[in-house]
Structure 1
Amino acid sequence: MKELLKKEPVTIISLILAVISAFFVHPDDQYISYIDFRTLSILFCLMLVMAGLRKENVFKYIGEKLLERTTTKRGLAGVLILLCFFFSMFITNDVALISFVPFSIEIIGMMDDLEGEKKSSFAIKLIVLETIAANLGSMLTPIGNPQNLYLYSLSGMSIGSFIGLMLPYSLSSLIILVICSIVMFPKGKGSSDETVAKPDDSSYGEAKKSFSKKIITGYLILFVLSLLVVVHVLPYWAVLIATILGVFVIDKNTLKDADYFLLLTFTFLFIFVGNIKRISPVKDALLSILYGREVITAIVSSQFISNVPAAILLSGMTDKIKLLVIGTNLGGLGTLIASMASLISFKFYGQIEGSKKGKYIVVFSLLNIVFLIILMAIHLLISCQA
């Protein structure tokens, strides 16, 4: 139990909260209505599709092809950061980091002209900015991260309205990321083997060798079906069945790669929030805190319980879902647990020989605070003009 708590703390805490709430609101036939099966189904389908495409090294291959054109360390860093930013919009922030952070670590290891402290500093800056890029890029689309998918489904917004809502923040984030890439990485030009893995390196070029066009086509079809559910064209239950059967035929082992703990976390939080809404004193207290402070409350609560639980909890207390979309997305910046995707990068960095976790956390925290302050200022500016 202790090991599970260490590995999946949010899931265990959400389970405890659900159990405690059940003592105040005993299980009854209303419990089933708490759970948003549509969101869970779409999330599960996307998890399976992205797991399958990642196993086929699709994202790594695209990264390799783009990096072949880089000639400077600044260019290398910029490409990797932008890969995380743009890919996270469609493959989710956690999949983007799982795909590109280990790839980045491999490439950094091949930089013979960087040693010791310089290599460590380069790795920290790059991985931190990749993490920020994934968290910020993912906020533009409903499928970019789990809380967006849930809040989008709850809000009834069109996909165009959702993108329009987050576009100013995404464009601002992109500009800031480009500036950071220019300022934080060296300008000096180096030979190709100093910046990018050489074609004859054993770890480079392997992605294309594992390609199976039939398999990739199958996963892409399933991805399109999932998108059609998101935009309310197809029923979720039909696509869920099609996806499970399709993945089973393509590669049944991929069924093991979905993040089932995240699905459990959602389920437990749905139960907890559903019960809280039926406990009048608690609901009234939360409403008094949240009213008129939706964005800042979402940002602050995300720092302590992460933005996915914050989205589910606060959505049960207000109908101002658009403000929660903004708040929970900006709330992904800040502490290491504000977005659970950030822990993925930290875990990968910690596996590097000679990693300096303390320095990583300091750099991570400082950069996240800077981005958060700037984006909060942009939100205030937009609010004043509305």
Structure 2
Amino acid sequence: MKRMLQWLRGETVLCVAWVLALVTAVLVPPDAQYINYVDLHTLGMLFALMAVMGGLQRQGLFFRLGRSMLERTHTTRQLEGVLILLPFFVSMAVTNDVALITFVPFALEVLSLAGQTQRVVPVVVMQTIAANLGSMATPIGNPQNLYLYSCYEMDLGSFFATVLPYAGACLVLLAVFLMVRPSQSLEVPQVSGEVPPLSGARVAAYGVLFALCLGGVAKAVPLYVLCPLVLVVVLMADKQVLLHVDYALLATFVGFFLFVGNLGRIPALTALFQSLIQGQEVLCGVVASQVISNVPAALLLSGFTDNGAGLLLGVNLGGLGTLIASMASLISYKYIARTFPEKKGKYLGQFTALNVAFLAVLLLLWVVLP
């Protein structure tokens, strides 16, 4: 019981989602329409992608990629560039969460071995920003993208037209940050982190599954084919992968689906939310994300607007700002708090300042762009 309560305390968003679902269930008693609330395509795709990415991560594929790139660095600027840009680009394929889980501890080890612990805070802050904004560039980069891409039945052209200018601007801002950082020559130490033996057969199998997942996102591969196939292959290749799937995230989605579905059947509340959100999707997405994080914000606000592009942009930019604006940001903070507890205050200060600066620049770009 104690362990369960401790787990629930760590899953605040999940608890809030289900409390809201249960409260609104009093106003809208459960009936046959509840089944239509749940977006099974989004849930199935999330499960499949998390399982496949978990398999690749357990093979140490991304760690090996980072180590290989580090071997080619000779200055502290190059070192920081590799550590920051890796999560930016990798998150586009494996989600911001997986990118940070992989590369933040990797960065902490490298910087410690290199005697550059004074760079830990700015590097991890920028890794977090890079992962959150890099992940916006693809439909599979983060959960809110996957959901909104499916919910609004977007095509790739309109999706990329919405997000790529801002992902590109973020890349420019990251480059500017790296250019103004002091640099010196450096001999990068060997990184000796534990990496499991690489199985070519497993990597190939996960690669095929990932390609099928991309087909699933495009709705070219039916979900009833994809999910059982992923489950069977993962069970055969490495059943431990299934223990690392974020089932709490899936349950959170279900809770918010029920909550938003019920709200949509209460005319007075529907009219109120629509009047507040419509025409202000970007700003509403940014503001709501600061309070409840961008994934719940996407789920909540999508029930009251047809402007999927505006909401997509809002909740992705809204991942900047507070520590909970993107739940992935908590991953980095936990690593800092565990490894360098004396740097927590400094980290929060720099995190907030840099996030606000990036958000301000990108919102200014939004105002300027047609």
Matched, 1:292 2:279: yes
Aligned with 2:304: secondary structure?
Answer: coil
Paired residue type of 1:305: I
* Structure 2 residue aligned with 1:244: 231
**Separation in structure 2 between the aligned mates of residue 224 and residue 4 of structure 1, nearest angstrom:** 34
- Structure 1 residue 355 and structure 2 residue 358: aligned? no
Tell me the secondary structure at the aligned position of residue 158 of structure 2. Answer: helix
Moved more, 345-354 or 369-378: 345-354
Letter of the structure 1 residue corresponding to residue 69 of structure 2: L
Which digits, 9 at most, give the CA deviation of each residue in 1:289-347, with x for residues without a partner? 11211110110000000000000111000111110000000000000000011011111
Match of 1:179 in 2: 176
2:122 counterpart residue number: 125
Distance 1:46 1:374 in 2: 32
Amino acid at match of 2:29: H
Q: Which moved more, 1:54-63 or 1:352-361?
A: 352-361
For 1:91-130, list aligned pairs within 5 A: 91-112=94-115, 114=116, 119=117, 121-130=118-127
Letter in structure 1 aligned against 2:201? K
Give the counterpart of 2:185 among 185, 189, 209: 189
Are 2:24 and 1:28 equivalent residues in the alignment?
Answer: no
Q: CA deviation at 1:159?
A: 1.7
Equivalent residue letter for 1:291 = Q
Structure 1 CA distance, aligned partners of 2:73 and 2:91? 22
Are residue 137 (structure 1) and residue 137 (structure 2) matched?
A: no
1:251-270 matches, within 5 Å, as 251-270=238-257
Which of the residues 209, 212, 217 maps onto 2:204? 217
Aligned to 1:66: 69
Aligned ranges for residues 47-58 of structure 1 at < 5 Å? Answer: 47-58=50-61
| Candidates 67, 75, 79, aligned match of 1:76 | 79
Q: Structure 1 residues 10-19 or 354-363, which shifts more?
A: 354-363
Paired position in structure 2 for 1:312: 299
1:257-289 Cα shifts (integer Å, max 9, x gaps): 100000000000000000001111111111111
Q: Please, which moves more after superposition, 1-10 or 370-379?
A: 1-10
- How far did residue 354 of structure 1 move? 4.2
Bigger shift: residues 277-286 or 328-337:
277-286
Aligned residues: 367
> Using the alignment, how far apart are the partners of 1:249 and 1:5 within structure 2?
31
Tell me by how many angstroms 1:2 deviates. Answer: 4.4
Q: Secondary structure at the match of 1:100?
A: helix
- Shift of residue 6, structure 1, vs aligned partner: 2.5
User: 2:10 is matched with which residue?
Assistant: 7
Q: CA RMSD in A?
A: 1.2
TM-score (norm 2): 0.97
Query: Which whole-Å CA distance do the structure 2 matches of 1:93 and 1:111 have between them?
Result: 26
Cα offset, 1:356, TM superposition: 1.9
Instruction: Give 1:164 shift.
Output: 2.2
Q: Is it true that 1:169 corresponds to 2:166 in the alignment?
A: yes
How many percent of aligned residue pairs carry the same amino acid? 46
